[in-house]
Amino acid sequence: MIKLSKADYEKILAHAEKELPNEACGLIAGTSDGNDKIIHKVYLLTNTDHSNEHFSLDPREQLSAVKDMRANGWIPLGNWHSHPESPSRPSEEDKRLAYDSKASYIILSLMDSNNPVINSFHIENGISEKENLIITE
Amino acid sequence: MNITVSGVKKEVSDGLTVEQLIVSEKVETPQYVTVTINDEFVESGSFKNTVLKDGDAVEFLYFMGGGQ
Q: Mean pLDDT of residues grouped by 10 in chain A (137 residues)?
A: 98 98 98 94 98 95 97 97 96 90 95 96 94 96
Q: What is the pLDDT of residue B55?
A: 98
- For residue B8, what pLDDT band results from cuts at 50, 70 and 90? very high
Please check the confidence at residue B68 and state whether its pLDDT lies above 80.
no
Residue pair B12/B1 in contact (Cβ under 8 Å)? The answer is yes
Cα B36 from Cα A73, distance rounded (Å)? 21
Question: CA-nearest residue of chain A to B29?
Answer: A99
Cβ separation A51–B67 shorter than 8 A: yes
Q: What is the pLDDT of residue B45?
A: 92
Q: What is the pLDDT of residue A109?
A: 97
Identity of the residue numbered B68: Q
Q: Looking at beta carbons, which residues of chain A come within 8 Å of B44?
A: none
Please check the confidence at residue B42 and state whether its pLDDT lies above 80.
yes
Nearest Cα residue to A55 out of A75, A78, A80: A80
Q: Looking at beta carbons, which residues of chain A come within 8 Å of B36?
A: 63
pTM for the model stands at 0.92
Question: CA-nearest residue of chain B to A82?
Answer: B68
Could you say which DSSP state residue A8 is in?
Answer: H
CB neighbours of B66 closer than 8 A, spacing ≥ 6?
Answer: A54, A55, A81, A90, A91, A93, A94, A97, A98, A105
Cβ separation B39–A25 shorter than 8 A: no
Cα A30 from Cα A91, distance rounded (Å)? 25
- Which of A55, A60, A84 is facing B66, going by the closest CB pair? A55
Q: Between A and B, how many CB-CB pairs are < 8 A?
A: 63
Cα A30 from Cα A33, distance rounded (Å)? 10
Could you say which DSSP state residue A47 is in?
Answer: B
Q: What is the pLDDT of residue A56?
A: 96
Cα A101 from Cα A124, distance rounded (Å)? 5
Q: What is the pLDDT of residue A65?
A: 98
Q: Looking at beta carbons, which residues of chain B come within 8 Å of A66?
A: 59, 61
State phi, psi for B13 to the nearest 5 degrees.
Answer: -75, 150
CB neighbours of B4 closer than 8 A, spacing ≥ 6?
Answer: B10, B56, B57, B58
Q: What is the pLDDT of residue A99?
A: 85
Mean of pLDDT values over B31-49: 94
